[in-house]
Every structure is written in C-alpha cells, then in structure tokens.
Structure 1
Amino acid sequence: MYTISRDYRKEIVIEKSRFICSLKKVHSEAEAQEFIKAVKKEFWDATHNCSAYIVDDLAQRSSDDGEPSGTAGIPMLEVLRKNGLTETAAVVTRYFGGIKLGAGGLVRAYSGSVAGAVKEAGLAQKILLGYYSFLYDVNSVGRILNVLYQQQLFEIADVQ
C-alpha cells in the first residue's frame, strides 16, 4: 500500500489546452470531497475539474465533470490504482485551448497528467509496524493525542 509523499500540483499543455493536476493526501471521503470542492472553487473559471480519489478498498470515486463519459475520471482512477495508492485524491483542471482532442486524446491527457504528478510527488509506502498502547493520566491525554494526530502516520484504534 502506498500514498503520495506530499501534496503536489503539476501543469502540462497539450494542443493548447492547459491540464493542471492537483494531488492531496486524504484520510476520509469527506476530506477528499472537500479537497475537490476547494479546487473547483479555486479554478472556478476552468472548462472542467475532473476528479478521482481512493481512500481505501471501499471508498473509490471518479467524476468526468462534463467531459465525455469515461474519458477523464475513470482513467485518472486507474492511474491511482496501478500505483497502488490509497488515501489520495486527484483533480485535473482543464482550460480548453480550442483544439478538440477526441476520446483517446482526452484519456491520454487526463491519465498522463495524473501519472506525471504522481511520479514527481513521489510515493510513500505504508507499513504496519505494530500496535501500541499508551497509558497517561487524564490531564495529559489531550496534549499527547494532539502530538500523535499531527504526525498522520498511523490510525488510532479504539481497543476495549
């Protein structure tokens, strides 16, 4: 299992159309959807803001955002899958340049945009090292949890 090593943004130009790929680490579907919404707000004047994300095996979604069906979101999602990524969201913003790319050209442009951004962002392998428990007095728990949450390198399990 992998995730991107850092949030990243990359722009490419194909046949005068600008494709801007934004990648972000996400830990839930809600966080992925908030990221997509934020990118759409940032690039409100773009022709399309296509998206794909994988949180885990069950939470995987994609959107063509007005592009012909199957030419943007699904190819982007496949790039994330082929790289074995989880907890990763991608939004590719397109500013139309006046030249139609056709279905095959769109698939290559969107998947290539995500693949290039993933390669440059780098991959971080997620490895389960073990389960740990900590015992602290009730006055220290908030401070300790804050430090642990800031690291974002693990999940905290509710063990009873």
Structure 2
Amino acid sequence: MEEKDTYRTITTPSEEVLFKDKNSKFFGYAFPIQNEEEVKQHIEDLKKQHHAARHWCYAYQFGTDEKNLSYRANDDGEPNNSAGMPIYGQIQSFDVTNILIVVVRYFGGVKLGVGGLINAYRTGAQMALEASKIITKTINIEYCISFEYKNMNKVMRIIKEKNLNITNQILELDCKVFISVRKNDSESVFKTFDNQFEIKIEVV
C-alpha cells in the first residue's frame, strides 16, 4: 500500500468571520504558516488590530507527515482547554496543516461558562476554516542530480520522459539539476538516475 503523499492546507489568509454569543464577540482568522516566527507575527498584528479585546486564543499545526507533526494550542487566559483545544479540534476535523487559527474575544459582560466558551471558540475556528480556500498539495522530495556537461542529454531525456519538475539548474562544466519529486514516485526516480553511469543523485 502506498503511503499518503498529499496534505491539505491553505495558501492565503481567510476572511475575517464573526460569531456572537450573549454580547461576547468572537472574531476568527486562519493563516497559512511555515514557522513559529510567522505565528508570533500574526498574533502581534491581531493584538494591534484588536487592542481592546480580552483574549487572543489560537492553535496551529506544522508538518506534512504524521511522524513529524507539531502543534500547539493556547487558551490565553480563558479556562483550561476551553479555547485552544476546541480550535485545534477544528484543524484536525478539517484535516489541514501548516495553518494557524486565531479567535479573538471581546467580552460582552455575561459569562458564558466553560461549555459556552468551548462552543464559541470551536464555532469561530470552524467559520474561519469554512471561509478559507483549502487546497491539496503533494509531499515532495527534493533531489540534486550532478553530472558532467557531456551527459546533459541523457539527464534531460529522463527528466522529460518522467515529466519531472526542475526547481533549479546550474549548467556549467559540472552541472547540477535540482528536481522536486512526489514522495510516492521518489524511489523509482532515484533508482533510474542512480543506475546511470557518471550521474550522481542525492537528497537535498
């Protein structure tokens, strides 16, 4: 059985969404992210934008393979597990990764109780995801193929036959061509180049 070599994510931030409950307002946002620095930046920007809000609760997840997933959920002063985990639950439910979801709360004077908070943060996250364009991407392996210029035609012929995606190339006396290959095809592509005389392939 082939391993899963695709993942779902977003490439552009969602529109702002709003959920109201007993005068409290919950603004939801989804952002595509690649690292924790971007998470900090988005939170800082939202704190400036909503400086009068009480809570900026969020959850995020990185990684495209079940073995290397990392996530974090933050209640930002709300009762334990009443905000961050319900938001993270929606990331799991929509099966998306490399994503940050923030739900900003303005307190309306009436306490919602833990059940009410869980529902509000879950709904804010769900609405942000529904307002996002979710796409499926392939998990790719990057290779570098090294060879002398005289072997150029041989390398290019294989690349053309296998319809491979070139991401970068340095074509001098000693040539390097970088290719990006879908994970499930990567082993056969590696073997094809590895079996060629005077051609070297390695993972970048």
**Coarse TM-score class (shorter-chain normalised):** 0.7 to 0.9
Query: Per the alignment, in what secondary structure is the counterpart of residue 31 of structure 1?
Result: helix
Q: Tell me the secondary structure at the aligned position of residue 20 of structure 1.
A: strand
In the alignment, structure 1 residue 70 sits paired with structure 2 residue 81: yes
Aligned to 1:106, which of 117, 123, 131?
117
Q: Are the structure 2 counterparts of residues 129 and 40 from structure 1 closer, same or farther at C-alpha, using a change threshold of 3 Å? A: same
1:41 aligns with: 48
Asked if the contact 1:47/1:96 (under 8 Å) is kept, the reply is yes
Matching residue of 2:102 = 91
**TM-score normalised by structure 2 residue count:** 0.63
For residues 129 and 87 of structure 1, the distance between their equivalents in structure 2, rounded to whole angstroms, comes to 15
* Partner residue, 2:28: 21
Shift in Å, 1:4: 2.4
Q: Which has the higher contact order (CA 8 A, sep 6+)?
A: 1
Unmatched segments (≥5 aa) in structure 1: 139-157
With normalisation by structure 1, the TM-score equals: 0.79
Gaps of 5+ in 2: 1-6, 143-164, 173-201
Confirm whether residue 6 of structure 1 aligns to residue 12 of structure 2.
yes
Count of residue correspondences:
141
Instruction: Please tell me whether the aligned partners of residues 8 and 136 of structure 2 are also in contact (alpha carbons under 8 angstroms).
Output: yes
Q: Deviations over 1:32-85 (max 9, x none)?
A: 222122212321221111011112243211110110010000110111011111
Q: Percent identity among equivalent residues?
A: 30
**Structure index of larger Rg:** 2
Look up the equivalent residue of 2:37 and give its one-letter code.
A
Once the two structures are TM-superposed, the CA of residue 30 in structure 1 deviates from its matched residue by 1.8
Report if aligned partners of 1:3, 1:125 keep a CA contact under 8 Å in 2. Answer: yes
Aligned-residue Cα RMSD (Å) equals 2.1
What pairs with 1:145-160 in structure 2 (closer than 5 Å)?
Answer: 159=203
Out of 52, 57, 71, the residue aligned to residue 59 of structure 2 is 52
Structure 2 CA distance, aligned partners of 1:53 and 1:129? 22
